[in-house]
Structure 1
Amino acid sequence: MEEMVEIYRKYMPQVYKFLFSLCHDAHLSEELTQETFFQALKSIDSFRGDCKIYVWLCSIAKHLWYKELKKKDREVVAEYVEETTCQKITENSAIQKMEVIELYKKLHLLEEPVREVMYLRLNADFTFKEIGEIMGKDENWARVTFYRGKQRIRKESNHEM
């Protein structure tokens, strides 16, 4: 353990400078330096001595830097996907809003009581039983009236195409 402390004292400034030359970010260089020595501590038993310890530490640091770059690339891609998705959602929302406006224009042209049944079902989300109660009719009447109104709107939409 004391050997690792001595290695840290001797090579930490050099490893930091090496990492700073790669990323040009003091905070990130510090983090990667700490991670380099942590990884070195975990794998010191596998150090074969084929090269100088400084070269080995820089090799670990370089791999950590590459890992950081891949992580940043994934974050950039994720941000791009999120931004693109938000744009698509906004576009879809605008299209849906225009479709809703067209639907309400068509609803407005329907005669009473069909229009009111459609509004109660679509806006207030009442059940057919509740609509029947509100209108002084039965559930079946509300269901059939809604269905007929829906069919008229579809028919008018098909004539426009």
Structure 2
Amino acid sequence: MAKINIQTIYEHNKQDVYSYLLSLTHNKSLSEDLTSDVFLGAIKSMPAFRGNSSIKTWLFSIARHKWYEHLRKGKKELAPEDFLRIYLSDDTTLETAVITKELVGRIYELLEQESVKSKDIVLMRVDGYSYFEIAQKHNISESSARVIDFRTKGRIRANLLKEGYISESDFL
């Protein structure tokens, strides 16, 4: 692979990474801090970058992981809209469901119980990756990526139903 100039990468992608993080955090200062962390992380992991995706996609993946790392460290309370989109998004009317912080916390806990592969597939879908891109990253077929995504979300929904966090009417 050709030599990659981090300064050029920074100049071409800083605003996009910042905007992406701002859409997650809704906090300008935090987004600026995390943007810096993303590029520091990119510098550290540059030797591991294989070029299987675009640099921007790679940076967004680092940004997403920095955001989750920040959440795990408890630096920000979890907002319902942050995780509704991530863990339960599909074509149903979930936008109308009322999500509490307790529910969001439970959704997060359930996703953490999934395998690394299943969790990554769900998160990649939320980030807008196609099943084709996910399949390439995980060295599986597109249909396997779809099935893993569907089943993982299904397990989370089933647990939430069983525990009484949501009802069947939330999915109608």
Could you state the TM-score of these two structures normalised by the residue count of structure 2? 0.41
Could you state the TM-score of these two structures normalised by the residue count of structure 1? 0.44
